[in-house]
Amino acid sequence: MDSITIKLSGSLPSSLSKNGRRRSHWWTQKQATQKMLDDCTMLIREATGNNLPKYDKADIEILSRYSNLPLDYDGLAPAVAPAIDAFVTLGIIEDDNPNIVLSYLMRFEKVSKRSFAETVVTLTNHKS
């Protein structure tokens, strides 16, 4: 398996964005982070058929489909951090540092309806 893609329906929890982290209570952040980590772990297991690959090096792409206003880049990165951490927790990548994750691309795409909003996270095996 050369890549794993998971889709997070709807908007990301505002408490996980950079501005949300400054404004929300630590317990709210902790609960939102744990829920997203658990949800992403389940989605990754479903996407791989529970046959988890191991990547020595990887590339990450985040696609945010939004209906109203997009998060800033510096808001999107912390908001999807639990999704990236799920790949580490499951042992697919050793860590999410720049020695392992060689590229990290974030893109935005406007959609016509709020019901179409989603965040797509793709981890790709980086082949040298």
Residue 17 has pLDDT above 80, yes or no: no
Which CATH number fits the domain that encloses residue 21?
Answer: 3.30.1330.70
31 C-beta neighbours (distance < 10 Å), count: 13
Nearest Cα to 44, choosing from 63, 36, 57, 111?
A: 36
Residue 106 has pLDDT above 60, yes or no: yes
> How many distinct structural domains can be found in the chain?
1
Instruction: Name 32's bridge partners.
Output: none
| Contacts within 8 Å (CB) and 24+ apart, 26-33 | 33/81, 33/82
pLDDT in tens, 43-100: 999 999 999 999 999 999 999 998 887 777 877 888 899 999 999 999 999 999 999 9
